Amino acid sequence: MWVQRLRRLSPEVRRLLPEAWLQLGWARLHQHRPFEDYARGWGIRMEETSWECDARQKQAVRHISHAVELASRYTPWRSNCLVQAAAAMTLLGRRKLDGTLYLGTAKNDAGRLAAHAWVRSGPIYVTGEREMGAFTVVGTFGRRAVTDQNTKIAENMSKHTFLKPDRWKEDPELTLLLFLLREDATPRLDTVDAADLYGLDWARLLRLAEHHRVVPAVYLQLKRINHPAIPAELLRNLQAQYQRNTLRMLRLQAEAGRVTRLLMNHGIRVLMLKGPALAQQLYGDVSLRTSKDVDLLIAPDDMDQAEQWMQEAGYVSKSGEARVLGSWKWKDHHASFLHPHKRVEIELHWRLHPDAGGEPSFEDLWKHRQIGEVTATGVPCVYTLGSEHQFLYLSAHGARHGWFRLRWLVDIDRLAVRAVDWEALLPMMRRYGGLPAGGQAWALAAALLGTSIPEPLRQVAATRLAHRLALSALAFIQASVPAAYPVAEPATHQPGSRSYLLSLKEPSHRLLYLISRLLPSTGDPAVLPLPRQLHFLYIPLRPFLWLKRRFSKH
């Protein structure tokens, strides 16, 4: 008879039954754990999800409801309301469906306190609908498929925020700063409670904005709030810095264009990294981002010729170190040049990142370039990275520095709403070892700036490695934040630490990184000068020269 009943079920419910049965068993097994651990996978405490969903989602929810209810009848263990609710939340989450788990209490006929649990997805109650009317809701757990896909990460990160409760009970200045930096802050400025603006340490807010290089955004948002609690002196200070930054960015933009045209007129292809080009690409206005120099990327084979033309343009090299064999192409990634009169610094890159590791070739980057600027006649004169390559570069750059400046994270947040082929980006991240840094970037942006993670990349941000790297970055941010009062103990974590940098690399790239450590560096000739014909000796002498420099520092 049960075979006939099974045949009468829809194919979707039949396929769900084994999974529902296993999830009921798993939920029953974990019911003996402490409640906090048991409830961790249900979503955000005291949150409810939307009551709306489309027809396809409604059909999927009904199938889950039927499968859980049917499977619960045939379990050798007692599948009570809480076990069914926990299993239903897991099934909903796996299919990227919203879900809210309700906990309710009531007194039974004997006057004793009874409890009940039920689940809703959209307008449909998945489990526990028959009995729920007799209970008063005392708790909810909401998990949204779109905005709360990183519930586990967000909840854990909330316990490990960079404002440690044993050091600072609250940090309203940093809270306000993070709000002002959000992409959706402008339409929400009227939600700022005026009472929260009184008593703020405005001098510290200024230090935070300066440290994180986000003065333009903070100034414009505070100006829009236009509340008497905001000191006029602070606004004047921010305005002066904003205006100076605008002039500087325009100056950098003009000089970058001049040098780029010079190099390209002599057959050297140039891509502009960060700086004014990135400000224009992500923010639509060069004044909305800060930059201290210009970064230009060229092909490695063009480096010698480009250096000659940089000198022709009036620039002098800031590095007097000799290049040993060909290891500089692996171990370094840029050379710095300074114009003594214009006081403009240009970094000429032949790689996106230092050290050996995966990154797209210059030919690939050039093939997918974007137009950054055009001349008056409409001819392109400045090129930037394509959007997919831009994310690879920005996430790796921010991760390498431990995200200790929020400006880099804001770049990721602004890039998230641009026209990027996220489906194509995922295999690129796998190919070039960008999954650890990319997952860290999305986890941090979602937690600190409320960034909505693109659908294809949610799995990248939900890994344990992304979570662990995000917590490491929070420690770096914590160490760099101007404290509400002086911090006695020194920071124990540094973004440049060898263990942290290795954790950002895939296993194969870690091997390349370790091999590159055996090659000569540009600092070796300073320890032991050798004629060019004997430079090959720097390879066997590398360990001894490294020890020599190491002990010299101490």
Q: Which two tokens stand for residue 548?
A: 């020599």
d(CA 516, CA 511): 9
Tens of each residue's pLDDT in the chain, 554 residues: 556 666 788 888 988 999 999 999 999 988 877 777 778 778 777 778 888 888 889 999 999 999 999 999 999 999 999 999 999 999 998 888 989 999 999 988 787 889 999 999 999 999 999 999 889 888 888 887 643 434 444 444 444 443 333 333 457 888 899 999 998 888 777 777 766 788 889 999 999 999 999 999 999 999 998 888 999 999 999 999 999 999 999 999 999 999 999 999 999 999 999 999 999 999 999 999 999 999 999 999 999 899 999 999 999 988 755 555 555 565 677 889 999 999 999 999 999 988 756 789 999 999 999 987 655 455 567 899 999 999 999 999 999 999 999 999 999 999 998 888 999 999 999 999 899 999 999 999 999 999 999 988 998 998 888 988 998 888 778 766 665 444 333 333 455 566 777 778 776 666 666 666 666 666 666 677 777 667 667 667 777 666 666 666 54
Q: Which two tokens stand for residue 428?
A: 């690129």
| 500 contacts 399 by C-beta, under 8 angstroms | no
Task: Tell me whether residue 281 is exposed, middle or buried, using C-beta atoms within 10 angstroms of its C-beta: 0 to 12, 13 to 18, 19 or more.
Answer: buried
d(CA 456, CA 430): 13
d(CA 507, CA 497): 17
Query: Which 3 state secondary structure label does DSSP give 283?
Result: helix
d(CA 446, CA 453): 7
